[in-house]
Chains A and B, each alone.
Chain A
Amino acid sequence: MTGPAIEIEGLTKDYPVGFWLAKKKRSLDNLTMQVERGEVFGFLGPNGAGKTTTLKLLVGLIFPTAGTARILGQPVSDVGMHREIGYLPEQPYFYDYLTAYEVLDYFARFHDLTAAERRARVEGLLKKVGLETAGKIQLRKYSKGMLQRVGLAQAIVHNPQVVILDEPMSGLDPVGRREVRDIILELKRDGRTVLFSTHILSDAEMLCDRVGVIAGGTLRGVGAPGEIVGLKAKGMEILFELAGGSGGAAIAAQATQTGNRYRIQVPEEELFGALEQLRGAGARILAVAQVKATLEDYFLELVGAEGAQGAAVEVSGR
C-alpha cells in the first residue's frame, strides 16, 4: 500500500454559537496536512487551538463545514474504515458500571476477533497499561489517570493501522507518561501510524518524527522537531556574581537575578563584548554556556504574537 496514512485537505469547521445557534465560530480554518505511514506525528497547539476538533473530524464524531479528509485512502465518512483506526478521546470516560476488563472486551467485540483472541488481547493490554490488578474493578472507582490508561488500551485493542490519540499524556503521573511513551514507540516499531495531540512540548520533542503546530484554528508550521529547532540560533548564556556594593553595571540591569547571582543571554557575536563589560564592572564569571533552542521557543514565537489563549477566529454568520 502506498500513499500517506492521513490526508487532510482544506478541512474547516464552524461551530454554531449563540442562543439561536445562528452565529458561527470558526474553530478550524482550511487545514491541509498529511501524516505519512509509519510515522509518529505530534499535533501541537495551545488550549483551544483546534486539535480536538481536527481529531474528532477524522473519527467522524463531527462533520466538516468544508474540506475533506482521508485515512488510508478512505474518506472519513466511511465507518468501515474504523476497523483500521484506534481513537483515544480527550479525557476519556467509559461506562462506569463496567470493569476495565469488560469495557475492553466490549469494544473488542466490534472487531472480528474470536473469543480466545479477544481474551488474550484484553489481558495482554491490561498488563501493558499497568492495570492487570485493577482489571476487575468497576470504572466508577477509577482515577483520571487510570481511565486514561483504559482509553489507550481500547484504542489499540484491535491492532489498528492508524492510532489517533487526543492528549494521551494528560492526567498521568511521570511513570504513566513514560509507559505511554513506550507504547507509542512500540506502535511505531510495529509500523503503525500514530497521530497524537498535545500541548506538552517535551513529549512531542521526544517522540515525534514530525510535528505540526496549530493555533487559532490554523496550521502554523510542520516539520521534524530538530529541523524546526535548528533554524534558530539562540546565543549564549552567562552566569555571574556581583561582589556586594560594587557599582551597578549597566549590563546587570538587563540580567535576571537570583540571590547575588545573575543570568543573562546575549547573541553569540556579542559574547566577547559582554564579558569585557562584566569584567570591567567587577563581576565574577561563573559559567558560559550555549543556549539550545527548544521546540517551546519555536512554539511561543509562532503562537505568541497573536496571544496563545483562545485564539479561535470569529467569522460572521452566513
Chain B
Amino acid sequence: MISRKPIAVLLLVVLPAGFAAVWGLQKSLDRQLAAVRQERDELVLRSGRLVNVLSLEYGTFLADVYWTRTVQYYGEKRVRQEANFDLLAPLLDLTTTLDPHLVVAYRFGAVFLAEPAPRGAGRPEQAVELIQRGIANNPEQWRLWQDLGFIYYWELRDYPKASQAFLEGSKRPGADEWMKVLAAKVAEEGRSRGVSMFLWAQIHDSTKDPLIRKNALNHLQLLKAEEDRERLDELVQQFVQRFQRMPQTLEELVSAGLLRGKAVDPQGYPYVLGADGKSRLHPKSPLAGEHVGNSAAR
C-alpha cells in the first residue's frame, strides 16, 4: 500500500502556502514591472509586408492579434490620458496588411487617426491613405466611402472632396439613398450641424465596435449640447428684450415662461448662465471641456 501522507501534505501545505507566496509576489512584481514598462510602446516589426511573409498562412489570425493589440493600445492610452498615438498608424497598417479585409480596422483608423488629440492621433492625411487602401481592397464596401467623405468633411474641411466621396460611395451597390443627398448637401452648404449630426449618427449605427460607438455618441451629445446652448442664448436675448435686463440664472427664463423646465445637457447636467450672458455647460458635466468641433472656423 502506498502512503497517503504525501498527498495530504501537498494539498494542505505545499499548494496553499506556495500559491499564497506566488500571489503575494505577483502583486509586487506587477508594481515593479509597471515601472520598467512605462514606455513600452514599440513595434519590433513595422513593415506589414515583412510580417505578412513571416506569418505564413497564419496572417489572418495574426491580424486579429494585432487588431486586438491596436484596440488595447488605443484604450490604454485613453485611460492614461496620454496624447501621443504614434503607434496607431503602424499598428493599423500591420493589421490591414495582414488581413486586408478587416473593415473595422479601416473604419477605426478613419475616426481615431483623423481626430485630434486627445481623442486621436490627429493625422487625417494618414487616415485618408488608410481608407483609400481599404477601398482598393474592398470595393464593395460603400461605408468606406462614407468614412472617406467624413474625414474630408469633419477634419480636413474639404467639402468638394467630401461631396465627391459621398457621391462615389452612393454609386456602390447596396449604398443607402441618403449618400446621394448628402453629396449634394455638402457640396451646397459645406458644414452644417445637421450634416454633422447625421454623419455621427451613421457612424454610431453602422458599427459594433464599442470604442467607435462611444466616441460617436460623445460627439452627438456635444453637438446636441451646442444646439441647446444656441437655443438658450436666443432665449436669453428674448428675456433681455422683454425685461430690459440680464437674467441672473437660467431658472429666471423658466419663471418668465420662456423655458418649460430646467434645461439639462445630454448627460443630465443643467446648463448654467455665464457672466457674459452666454449659456455654458455645467462645470461637472463630462461634456464640459470637450471640443465641439463643428464651428465653421477653427
The CA-CA distance from A303 to B236 in the complex, in Å, is: 116
* Alpha-carbon distance between A77 and B2 when the two chains are bound, in angstroms: 8
Residues of A in contact (CB 8 Å), total 4
The residues in B between 1 and 34 inclusive whose CB is less than 8 angstroms from any CB of A are 1-3
A64, B1: Cα distance in complex, Å: 6
Interfacial chain B residues near A64, Cβ < 8 Å? 1
What are the residues of chain B within 8 A of A77 when measuring CB–CB? 2-3
Q: Which B residues touch A66, using CB under 8 A?
A: 1
Q: Which residues of B contact A142 (CB under 8 A)?
A: none
- Interface SS majority for chain A: loop
Interface residues of B in 171-195 (CB under 8 A from A): none
A20-62 with Cβ < 8 A to chain B: none
Q: Residues of B within 8 Å of A, CB-based: how many?
A: 3
- Of all chain A residues, the one with the shortest Cβ separation from B2 is A63
- Closest B residue to A63 using CB positions: B2
> For chain A residues 118-135, which have a beta carbon within 8 Å of chain B?
none
Cα(A161)–Cα(B1), bound, Å: 25
Residues of A within 8 A of B2 (CB): 63, 77
CB nearest neighbor in B for A65: B1
Contacts of B3 in A (CB 8 A): 77
B232 to chain A, nearest CB (A): 77
Q: Which residues of A contact B1 (CB under 8 A)?
A: 63-64, 66
The distance in angstroms between the C-alpha atoms of A63 and B2, with both chains bound, is: 7
Q: Quote the shortest CB–CB distance from B6 to chain A (angstroms).
A: 12
Q: B140: shortest Cβ distance to chain A, in Å?
A: 52
The residue of chain B having its C-beta at the shortest distance from the C-beta of A67 within the complex is B1
Q: What CA separation (Å) do A108 and B3 show in the bound complex? A: 29
CB proximity of A13 to chain B, nearest CB, Å = 12
> What string of 1s and 0s marks CB contacts (under 8 Å) between A72-84 and chain B?
0000010000000
- Complex-state Cα separation, A62 to B235, whole angstroms: 94
A64 to B3, CA, bound (A): 12
Residues B99-140 near A (CB distance < 8 A): none
* A66 to B1 Cα, complex, angstroms: 7
Q: In the complex, A66 Cα to B2 Cα: how many Å?
A: 10
Shortest CB-to-CB span from A117 to chain B, Å, is: 34
**Closest Cβ of chain A: how far from B7's Cβ, in Å?**
14
Write the nearest CB–CB distance from A95 to chain B, whole angstroms. 28
Chain B residues contacting A63 (CB-CB under 8 Å) are 1-2
A230 and B1 CA atoms in complex are apart in Å by 40
> What CA separation (Å) do A98 and B1 show in the bound complex?
35
Interchain CA distance A9-B130 in the complex, whole Å: 82
Q: Which residue of A lies closest to B3 (CB)?
A: A77
Instruction: Please report the C-alpha to C-alpha distance between residue A63 and residue B3 in the assembled complex, in whole angstroms.
Output: 11
Among A58-116, those with CB < 8 Å from B are 63-64, 66, 77
Query: In the complex the two chains form, what is the Cα distance from A112 to B94 in whole Å?
Result: 64
Give bound CA distance, A313 to B244, whole Å. Answer: 113
Cα A63 to Cα B1 with chains together (Å): 6
Chain A positions near chain B (C-beta within 8 angstroms): 63-64, 66, 77
6 contacts between A and B (CB under 8 A): A63-B1, A63-B2, A64-B1, A66-B1, A77-B2, A77-B3
Q: Which 6 A-B pairs have the closest CB atoms?
A: A63-B2, A64-B1, A63-B1, A77-B2, A77-B3, A66-B1
